[in-house]
Amino acid sequence: MDTTGSHYIVEASGCNPDVIGDATKIRHILTQAAKAGHMEVKSSYFYRFMPMGVSGVVIVAESHISIHTWPENRYAAIDVYVCGSESNPEKVIDYILDAFGSTHAHVSEVQRGIRDEEIYTHVILTWEEDLKPSSKI
Amino acid sequence: MDTTGSHYIVEASGCNPDVIGDATKIRHILTQAAKAGHMEVKSSYFYRFMPMGVSGVVIVAESHISIHTWPENRYAAIDVYVCGSESNPEKVIDYILDAFGSTHAHVSEVQRGIRDEEIYTHVILTWEEDLKPSSKI
């Protein structure tokens, strides 16, 4: 089985606090995002911090999506890790950023599991995105 | 609440296939690793691929540990994400690498949620580790 994976690490700024502070909305957005990226959802787990903030994970076949939010700072930390090439992690990220109303994203794409003889490594590419979202919420 | 997080991204080579192919062993190792790193386990989810390989996530307070393994390649992709400073993610990683019998680790430490005015970014430091593990399994 192919060991390589695409792992997107995203710091999303300027997010709508009414969205990223609501675990129910986040669960809905991440489930829809997984579908948009052709991922098969296996399970999900979310919980809300006191007084605010949400953490959660969506387990998809051979991969996962995780989230931690700070609505008081309009900030969300998002990870999308995909093994195999049948799904589209970029669509997942774009869906989430749009639904969160994020205005800026700092993104690193990590290519996981790159083999050099018996040693596995990863390579990282980082970029910035200025966004003009049209919130789906 | 502090937005910064320490996220360790690890490609572990030379792992014991009898360990990283066994979901029950991995669940036990990750739960013990979380305790070693002073993390409070909230929930965990694991599943086994056919014919081999395991994926799973352990949700800990304000953070998570995720794993994807390829026993046929003696390779495991490990993530440990910690928000706040009360837990010790390095101990978690060291515990897992030792229990997996890994001989080499390619590690990136990502400092998440670094604020510059209204924009959040991350910084990445990458290194190699040659290991002489004493398997706990």
The CA distance from B85 to B98, in Å, is 23
Is B45 a domain residue? yes
The CA distance from A95 to A40, in Å, is 16
Alpha carbon distances (Å) from B131 to A26, A78, B9, B87: 40, 31, 17, 23
The CA distance from A34 to B42, in Å, is 23
Domain residues for the domain of A49 are 5-130
Q: Which residue has the higher pLDDT, B54 or B2?
A: B54
Is A68 catalytic? The answer is: yes
Please answer whether residues A112 and B11 qualify as being in contact, where contact means their C-beta atoms are separated by less than 8 angstroms: yes
Model confidence, pTM: 0.92
Give the pLDDT of residue B126. 96
pLDDT digits (tens, 9 = 90+) for A5-57: 999 999 999 999 999 999 999 999 999 999 999 998 988 888 877 667 898 89
Closest Cβ opposite residue A59 in set B1, B45, B106: B45
Going by pLDDT thresholds of 50, 70 and 90, the confidence category of residue B137 is very low
Q: Which residue has the higher pLDDT, B19 or A51?
A: B19
Chain A and chain B share a number of CB contacts under 8 A equal to: 139
**Record: contact A42-B47, CB cut-off 8 A:** yes
**Record: contact A62-B72, CB cut-off 8 A:** no
**Record: contact A11-B83, CB cut-off 8 A:** no
Q: How many domains does chain A have?
A: 1
Alpha carbon distances (Å) from A53 to A46, A68, A134, B115: 11, 7, 23, 17
Give the count of alpha carbons within 13 A of A108, CB side only.
Answer: 23
Does position B131 have pLDDT exceeding 70, yes or no? yes
Is A135 a domain residue? no
Does position A133 have pLDDT exceeding 80, yes or no? no
Give the pLDDT of residue B112. 96
Give the pLDDT of residue A62. 66
Please answer whether residues B43 and B24 qualify as being in contact, where contact means their C-beta atoms are separated by less than 8 angstroms: no
The CATH number of the domain holding residue A81 is 3.60.90.10
Name the closest residue on chain A to residue B70, using Cα atoms.
Answer: A3
Give the pLDDT of residue A85. 73
Closest Cβ opposite residue A70 in set B1, B55, B64: B1
Please answer whether residues A12 and A75 qualify as being in contact, where contact means their C-beta atoms are separated by less than 8 angstroms: yes
Set A63, A64, A87, A102: catalytic member: A63
3-state secondary structure chain B: CCCCEEEEEEEEECCCHHHHCCHHHHHHHHHHHHHHCCCCEEEEEEEECCCCCEEEEEEECCEEEEEEEEHHHCEEEEEEEEECCCCCHHHHHHHHHHHHCCCEEEEEEEEEEEEECCEEEEEEEEEEEECCCCCCC
Is B135 a domain residue? no
**Record: contact A62-B77, CB cut-off 8 A:** no
The CA distance from A20 to A29, in Å, is 10
**Record: contact A47-B70, CB cut-off 8 A:** no
Is B137 a domain residue? no
Closest Cβ opposite residue A11 in set B13, B14, B121: B121
Does position A131 have pLDDT exceeding 70, yes or no? yes
Please answer whether residues A62 and A82 qualify as being in contact, where contact means their C-beta atoms are separated by less than 8 angstroms: yes
Does position B9 have pLDDT exceeding 70, yes or no? yes
Is A83 catalytic? The answer is: yes
The verdict on whether omega for the bond into residue A17 sits within 30 degrees of 0, i.e. cis, is: no
Going by pLDDT thresholds of 50, 70 and 90, the confidence category of residue A78 is very high
Is A116 a domain residue? yes
What is the average per-residue pLDDT within A63-79?
A: 94
**Nearest residue to A26 via CA among A63, A81, A62, A66:** A66
| Residue A136, SS3 per DSSP | coil
Is A136 a domain residue? no
Of the listed ranges A49-53, A61-65, B14-18, the least confidently predicted one is A49-53
Helical ranges in A6-124 per DSSP H: 17-20, 23-36, 89-100
The CA distance from B114 to B103, in Å, is 33
Set A7, A15, A83, A102: catalytic member: A83
Give the pLDDT of residue B73. 96
Does position B135 have pLDDT exceeding 80, yes or no? no
- Report CA Rg, chain B: 15
**Record: contact A113-B70, CB cut-off 8 A:** yes
